[in-house]
Amino acid sequence: MGSTYQMTLVEQYELAENVLGFRFSLPDTSFQFISGQFISLQIPWQQQIIKRSYSIASSPLLAQKQGLLEMSVALVEGGRASQYLTNMQPGDQLEMMGPYGRLILPEQLPSRIVLVGTGTGIAPYRAMIPELKQLAKQDCQIDIVMGVRTPSHLFYHQDFSELAAEFTNVHYWVCFSRQEVSDSIFDSEHLHLNNHYTSKKSYVQTLLSELDLNPENTIVFLCGNPAMIDAAAVLLQNEKGFPIKQVRREKYVLSSS
Ligand SMILES: Cc1cc2nc3c(=O)[nH]c(=O)nc-3n(C[C@H](O)[C@H](O)[C@H](O)COP(=O)(O)OP(=O)(O)OC[C@H]3O[C@@H](n4cnc5c(N)ncnc54)[C@H](O)[C@@H]3O)c2cc1C
């Protein structure tokens, strides 16, 4: 069971089409988490509290050193937490509980880690960036696979591009499900950064199918859309021979309340 903490909104900003970034301050320095985990926001809604889970998109170092926590929220039309969070102003307070979740890097290093996220499902991997740098220095091969509809839905692109630019054993893939992508799109939207990514028109599952993955030395993380996670997990088991324990999953299932 996680504890309850009070957070204060520092700022809210647009990350991509229909995706807002949130930065909260944590007056309580006792909040500790492992990168990859999520929190449960306690949203006041019509005299009740509804609970909604969100992955932490910033590293534990930012929380320890500056008392800050970041999240990315894909706005759902008519969604209650989506509306509440959109209307929050800097200085407003919000309760959260946590941390929760087991989508965390293993203590025993595999020689390859594949991190797959659709939409805001990429957030936990952004929180892992300082650790991923350490793993890359220890020769671990890292593939970050981001799935979004179109370039306007892409975010945290610069963070992952920079990581891939720093290490030859880190590969960053972007899969656009709805749009053929040319480099000029990246240039025009200032997203282009030294070509340290590979963009494709495909679903993340299609890319996984194309990658040469050895289940004996590889762990795959899947985060985000539940349908993607189910399809990718079946593919990894049936096509690539992965035992299910080497496929770590965090499904962004919708709340029933
Ligand atoms: C472990 C975990 C981590 C999560 N992390 C994140 C995160 O980092 N970022 C993030 O944005 N979300 C995340 N989610 C999803 C998040 O918790 C909420 O479910 C989401 O923000 C919608 O909440 P809401 O209150 O705005 O919508 P609700 O009021 O719950 O839903 C309103 C209506 O919209 C429908 N609906 C809800 N979501 C969708 C959707 N995606 N597509 C189509 N219809 C929908 C519902 O069926 C309902 O009819 C996570 C979920 C889990 C379980």
Per-residue pLDDT of the chain (257 residues; tens, 9 = 90+): 668 999 999 999 999 999 999 999 997 778 999 999 999 999 999 999 999 999 999 999 999 999 999 999 999 999 999 999 999 999 999 999 999 999 999 988 899 999 999 999 999 999 999 999 999 999 999 999 999 999 899 999 999 999 999 999 999 999 999 876 665 555 444 455 456 778 778 899 999 999 999 999 999 999 999 999 999 999 999 999 999 999 999 999 988 87
Angle between helices 129-137 and 157-166 (to 10 degrees): 10
The encoded tokens of residue 249 equal: 């999953």
User: What would the DSSP string read from start to end of 93-128?
Assistant: EEEEEEEE------SSPPSEEEEEEEGGGGHHHHHT
- What's the pTM value of the predicted model, to 2 decimals? 0.94
253 Cβ below 6 A of ligand 1: yes
List the 198-201 sheet strands across, edge first. 198-201, 170-176, 141-148, 112-118, 218-224, 247-251
Rounded Cα gap, residues 185 and 143, in angstroms: 23
Kindly report the protein residue whose alpha carbon is nearest to atom 44 of ligand 1: 76
Rounded (10°) CA dihedral 21, 25, 29, 31: -30
16 Cβ below 6 A of ligand 1: no
186 Cβ below 6 A of ligand 1: no
22 Cβ below 6 A of ligand 1: no
Specify whether the CB–CB gap between 15 and 71 falls below 8 A. no
Q: Is 227 in a helix, a strand, or coil? A: helix
87 Cβ below 6 A of ligand 1: no
Instruction: Give the CA distances from residue 188 to residues 10, 67, 152, 164, 192, in Å, rounded to whole numbers and listed in that order.
Output: 30, 35, 11, 21, 8
Q: Domains of the chain by range and CATH? A: 3-100 (2.40.30.10), 112-251 (3.40.50.80)
Nearest ligand 1 atom to the CA of 43 is: 25
Rounded (10°) CA dihedral 228, 230, 233, 234: -120
Specify whether the CB–CB gap between 228 and 221 falls below 8 A. no
Specify whether the CB–CB gap between 127 and 98 falls below 8 A. no
80 Cβ below 6 A of ligand 1: yes
